[in-house]
Each structure stands twice: as structure tokens, then as C-alpha cells.
Structure 1
Amino acid sequence: MKGALRIGRIAGIDIYLHWTFGLLIAGIFAFYLLHGVGVQAALAGVLLVLVVFGCVVLHELGHALMARRFGVPTRDITLYPIGGVARLQRIPEEPIQEFWIAVAGPAVNLVIATVLALVLWVVGGSFDPNALVQPRLHFLTSLMWINLLLVGFNMLPAFPMDGGRVLRALLALRMNYVRATQIAASIGQGMAVLFGLFGLISFNPILLFIALFVYVGAQQEAQQAMFRSLTQGIPVRQAMMTRFQVLHPDDTLGRAVEALLAGAEHDFPVVENGQVVGVLTRKALLHALAREGQSGRVRDAMRATCRPIEDTAMLEEAFLRMQESGCEALPVVHNGQLVGLLTLENVGELMMIASALRQAAVLRAQVPPL
């Protein structure tokens, strides 16, 4: 994964650590030192953060293992400074499945907090929330309260937190998925506005950051739901380009420039001995031209990772593959033979057409027959 370091594999799921996580550790250490505590206390604070993110990994594994029970694989888990993300290969078909997958994560934190509370009760430890400011003296107490805070924060009914998915799942039991997502996203954005206003009044930058995080997350979730609705059940062959030029790996970049200027195409499949070996995008072509000039070769500029997809595959699967590989275009094959090219522009045009047809159908349904 780009910008992330693979740190392990649990239950067959790769765990990644984003590079920005190092900034968090450095920031926590500096925070404690600037507040006048000793190096030992600062190291205790860093250790607490690391253990908390261990709990975050368990939280995300809760989502992943529950999803596995419903036949939904998990691609990977990535740790960011703001938390973890378990990337599922697809959204569960049944709302009740999404409900159980969403609550599984906070349930793990609740179990951890309960176990820690029992340990503290047995050893006569403190339950004072103020222990959070002294993690070196009250490590287990701090960890217990942080896990409870994670439960409360994640169960807020706002995307992209688990509570937003729980709310959508419950709404989707009574209405269609897109409408349920729109309502849940609107509630989340309303909460984001309240967080933002309160952050401005109290001069709290953390609340402002949370407000932005929640608002953008809700907006993205609504867009993804609309995309899923418009593309569900549509095979790649309905959106692919069937008129395109093919390049050979040994063609010069000058030849690719001629193909680019001769038509409206921006991306070109690269074929050798009848097999698709990559895609040359306009962006890659321009970078290669600046580096090597027109005498450079297509094979040195093409994206070999843009693997072909079958024309019978669903558009949603193709879009996910494009996101994962960072490819702006995918060659489309039928029984191994190149038959088309799928680009993000094609997908966008198909969505606009599908949206227009849906609006027309709604208008026709609203007009009473003569």
C-alpha cells in the first residue's frame, strides 16, 4: 500500500502502518516534554498510545472477522494517526449484516474496558478519569477509560464512524439503501456543523478537526452509495469504449503523441503478441516525454499493473480495482482478447446517463395518465 509499511499479518489480514503515524508518536513525546514532565513520563505516554493502537487493531479485527462470517473478505487494515481502517472487499448485501459488522468493533473495545475494570477492581486500582493525565502512574486506568471513549466516539451516529453505519443499517431495514445513506449522511453532517460551531466558540482545534473529518466522511459515503446504486448490476461491457487505438511496447513516445493528437482518446492499451501487457495513460506519457523525449519507448512509460478485466465483470468490481491499482483506465477482454477500454471518464458518463434516465422515470411516474 502506498505510503504505508506492512508490520504484520493477523488472521490472514495484512496490517499496515501509515507513515504519518510516526508524526503522532513524535508529537505525543514532544507534548509531554513541553508540559514539563520528565522523559520517563513522556515515554509512558508514548507507550500508552502504542497500546491504544493495539486496541485499535483488535477493534478493526472485530469488524474484519465479523465480516468474514458473512462471506465478506477484508483487503487489509491500515493504522492512521486518527485511528484504523479495515477495507472490506464489498459492502454487505443485507442491512443486518452491516449492523453486526459495524457494532463488532466497538464491542471489542467494550470487552477490553470490562476486563481492565475487573483487573483494577481485583487489585484495588483507581477508577478516576483524571488518571488520563498521568499514564505512568495509572496506566491500566488510563487504558480502560480510553477504550470506553473509543466506544462512545465510534458509536456517534455519523459517518465515517461505526455509529453512522449502524444508523444506516437500521434505516435500510425499512427503506432503500441510497435513501438510508442520505439520511444517515445528513445527520452526520448536521453533527459536524455542531462540532464545528462548538469548536469555534471554545477555540478547540480538535473539535474543528473532528467536524471536518465527519463532514467529509459523510459526504464521501453518500457519493459512494449513489455510485453503487447507479452501477449495481451493470457489466463492464456496457460502459467500455469500443473504439480505441492500440500501441506496441516498442513504439516510440512520438507514435503515442500522434495517437493522442489524432483523436479524443487519452489512454491506450499496450498489446504484444496478442496479449495486453499494460496501459499508457496521458499523464504517464507526458511525464515520459519530459524525461526522455519522443524517442523514448512505450514499454518504459506504460503501467503494467493495470491488469485486464473481463467484459462480464460488474462495473463496481472494476471501479474498486481501479482505486486499488491507481489505474485511470483498464483494458477489457473477452476470452483473453482485447475488446474495449474502461476509463473513469466512461464510468462518469454512464452514471450521468443512468441518473438522467432515473429522473425521467420518476417524472413519468408523477404525471397522471390522460
Structure 2
Amino acid sequence: MNISSAFYDFRNRNVQISRWRLSIDPLLPLVLLLLAWALSSRYYPEMLYLSAAWKYWMLGGLTAVFITVSILIHELGHSSVARALNIPIERIHLYLFGGMAELQHRPHAARQEFWIALAGPMASLGVALFSWVMYALVLDPTFMAWYFFRFLALINLLIALFNLLPIFPLDGGRLLRSVIWAVNGNYLRASWLTKRAGSFIAGLLLLLALADYTWLQSDYVIFSGILALYMMYTWYSGRYELNYMPSAGDLIRPAPEAETTQALVEQLMPPREQLLKRCIFPVLEHGEPYERLIIEGKVLNSAADDISQLPAKPAVTGDFIDLDEPNSWSSSVVYNAEWIPVYHSGRVVGMCDAKELRFWLQQNENAIHLWLPRTGKGIT
């Protein structure tokens, strides 16, 4: 990594390392401090004897930091496979009790979702295996590092197993949906079945926890209760994504009253100029729709470029969507950029997320009426 490729954006709490953008929850340092305190005052004193309190704090603090590093490695596993499958990463976000790799667009094939979902647990298992080798084969209990690697092996194994639970949006839930999707060929049906399976498993965990509390009364009753409640919450929060069915307005970024291409670019793109290379812009100065001219965003260096000096070319199928021409937004159309102009009643009304549009049309041809002009949210 070049030093120049890393910086910290204090306003947005983002760390940029080469091509990776990392955002951190502002309360995460507080959680790390509490975790370091618990490890240094409760866990490690029961495991080994050290001659000074600062040594416990050093060991506890290092362990707390590496738990976060383990979560980051888990998310980098997802991100690396996504990039290998040509799905760009928007950012990796670390929050209080986990992390999330945000993709720029959803996987559009079952195999993509399967490998991206599996990569995180596999990365965690890799860290667990390395840690096990260190404490089981390399070190012995006379070293402080032996206790550190033993704990790290256990926590990464738990991270992997927890994420493999088949409840969406955990990795196991995404793996389940990808398998169902591959079998029946339909994303929407697979999402519905995944939601039903997740509700059954979360309910079963809750019943087992109640049985443990009522009859078994094991030493793990508190843990099983917390796990069951958290799984119910996980399923409840994930059901919104599984139910998601976009309308036209969800995939179209409106451009009200944009009179020039320059104004359209400046209105839609800042502060995310990285979107420029993934766009095709209409030339608004040449009397559309009768003469549709376009400018490819890859020739723009920033939203402030003088577009009048850049080369324009006639639009072809795949360069635009006209809501009055269904053939321009058929699922058989291959779009030439991720974001393309949308026309309605002879004028440009916004920019469309073309990859998402094509995906949803392929998955549900029966819902094609959602794209008729009269139903488009924000389209007038």
C-alpha cells in the first residue's frame, strides 16, 4: 500500500486505503474500551497470572482490537470475492457489534451471491485456523501470546458459525437464498422462501430457549435466550430486503428542470464523482428526443468539466430508456452503462439504475406494468 493511498475523512468518518473505503461507527472506540476492560479485569485474570495490571490491560486491549480486525477480515473476504466477480464495493462499514460490506449493486446471479456470502465465513475460519496453529503447534502456555491466539481462534470460529445460521441477512441466509435461487431460477421466489425458512428457524430457537429456561435450566440459558431474541430481531430487520420490489421511482434519480447537460451532471453527481465513469448523459442542448445525442461519463474527469468541449455521439439501443417505448426497457436490452438517461413525453426526467432495472425485469416479467409512465413515482 502506498502511503498516499490512505487518508481519513473526519467529517464522514471514512478511511480510504487504496481502493477500499472504510467507515467506522463513532461509538466503536467506546465498545472496544469496554471489551478491553472486560477481558483485562475478568477473563484473562482467571486464565493466567501476570505480575502487573498493565500487562492484563495490554493483553485485553490487543485482543479487543484484533476482534475488530477479525470482523474487518471477514468483510474483506466478502469484498474481495465481490470484486473478483466484477461487483464494485461502495464501502466497508464497521458498527458496534459487526460489520457490513456494501456492494454498489446486488449480485445478479445465484452463483455470485453464493460465493460472496461464503467468502466471509471462510475468511473467519482461515483466521481461526491460523490462530489454532499458533497456540496449538507453535506456542505453549508459558507465553502470553498462547492465550491471545487461543481466544482469537475461538472468537473467529464463533463469528463464522454465527454468520452461517440460515437467517437473512446473515451470510447463512444469503447462502440459503442463493441455493434456492439456483434451483428454481427466480430471485423473488427464493427471497420469499428464505423469509419463511428464517422465520421458522428463529421461532425454533426461541422455543428452544424457552424450553431451556422452563425445564432444562442449563448453564447456557442466558446465552440461548439472548441468541434467540437476537435472531428474531435479525429476521425481523432482514425481511424488508427480502420483500423489496422497486417501482420506477426507486430506480430513477429525478432531474427536475435540468436545461443543460452540465446542469444535469452537477445536479445528480456531486458529491459522488466516482459515479461519472458509470454513466451515460444526454445532450440536452440538441432538441431531443428527435436527435438523441449522448456523452459517456468516462470522458469526464469531474462534474465541473466543460461538457460543451467533449465529444458527443448519437444514442443507440442500450444508451437510454424511453418510458413511452417499452422496447427500450425490455429485459432483453443490454445497457451500455450503469446509469442512463430516462425520457418521458419527449423530455429527460432523470437517470436510471440500468443494471437494477434489467435485473428486476428479468426476475419478474409479470411486474413490467410497474414501469409504465402512469405508475412511475416522481415521473410526470
CA RMSD of aligned residues (A): 4.4
- Specify the alignment match of 2:263 in structure 1: 275
Pairing partner for 1:162 from 164, 171, 180: 171
Q: How does 1:109-188 map to 2 (within 5 A)?
A: 109-123=124-138, 125=140, 138-175=147-184, 176-188=186-198
Pairing partner for 2:24 from 17, 25, 28: 17
1:255-312 alpha-carbon deviations (Å, 9 max, x no partner): xxxxxxxxxxxxx658799835659xxxxxxxxxxxxxxxxxxxxxxx9759999593
Mapped to 1, the partners of 2:31 and 2:322 lie a distance apart of 40
- Specify the alignment match of 1:223 in structure 2: 243
Cα pair distance change 1:55/1:45, threshold 3 Å: same
Mapped to 2, the partners of 1:273 and 1:221 lie a distance apart of 34
Mapped to 1, the partners of 2:151 and 2:229 lie a distance apart of 23
Identity of aligned residues (%): 25
1:5 aligns with 2:13: yes
Q: Which runs of 5+ in 1 are unaligned?
A: 127-134, 247-267, 280-302, 316-331, 344-350, 361-370
The CA deviation at 1:338 is: 7.0
Give the aligned residue type for 2:149.
L
8 Å contact kept, 1:189–1:214: no
Q: Normalised by the size of structure 1, how large is the TM-score?
A: 0.59
Give the aligned residue type for 2:243.
Q
The CA deviation at 1:214 is: 1.2
- Specify the alignment match of 1:263 in structure 2: none
Cα pair distance change 1:78/1:304, threshold 3 Å: closer
8 Å contact kept, 1:269–1:341: no
The CA deviation at 1:45 is: 2.7
8 Å contact kept, 1:157–1:163: yes
Give the aligned residue type for 1:20.
L
Mapped to 1, the partners of 2:222 and 2:35 lie a distance apart of 21
Q: Helix, strand or coil: the match of 2:107?
A: coil
8 Å contact kept, 1:235–1:312: no
Pairing partner for 1:104 from 104, 116, 119: 119
- Specify the alignment match of 1:87 in structure 2: 102
Matched length: 271
1:71 aligns with 2:86: yes
8 Å contact kept, 2:21–2:92: yes
Mapped to 2, the partners of 1:314 and 1:235 lie a distance apart of 17
Q: Normalised by the size of structure 2, how large is the TM-score?
A: 0.57
Q: Helix, strand or coil: the match of 2:243?
A: helix
Cα pair distance change 1:32/1:97, threshold 3 Å: closer
Give the aligned residue type for 2:238.
A
Q: How does 1:55-70 map to 2 (within 5 A)?
A: 55-70=70-85
8 Å contact kept, 1:6–1:15: yes
The CA deviation at 1:194 is: 3.8
